[in-house]
Amino acid sequence: MKWMLTLMLVLVTSACTHKVQVETKEPITINLNVKVDHEIRVKVDKELDDLFSDESELF
């Protein structure tokens, strides 16, 4: 009887741990997107700097 109770307790605990992992997945993906966006922004910003440099006829 005591053995069964321990087994159930372990199962319940592990199930809970699993649920927490699923919940944390989404925010991590969003952060990753923001990071990529920022990198592209910085990259394009630098390339625009080159485009509008002092020798440029376009600015």
Partner 1 sequence: MRAKIILTTIAAACMSFSVMALSLNEAKSQGMVGETAAGYLGVIKGSSDVKKLVADINKKRKAKYQQLAKKNGISLSQVEKLAAEKTYKKTSSGHFIQVNGKWVKK
User: Of 9 and 40, which has the nearer Cβ to partner 1?
Assistant: 40
Q: Which residues bind partner 1 (CB under 8 A)?
A: 40-41, 43-45, 47-49, 51-52, 57-59
Q: How far apart are CA 53 and CA 47, in angstroms?
A: 10
CB of 9 to partner 1, least distance (A): 50
Encoded amino acid at 57, one letter: E
Q: Could you tell me the two tokens for 4?
A: 């069964």
User: Of 23 and 45, which has the nearer Cβ to partner 1?
Assistant: 45
Q: How far apart are CA 52 and CA 37, in angstroms?
A: 22
User: Of 7 and 37, which has the nearer Cβ to partner 1?
Assistant: 37
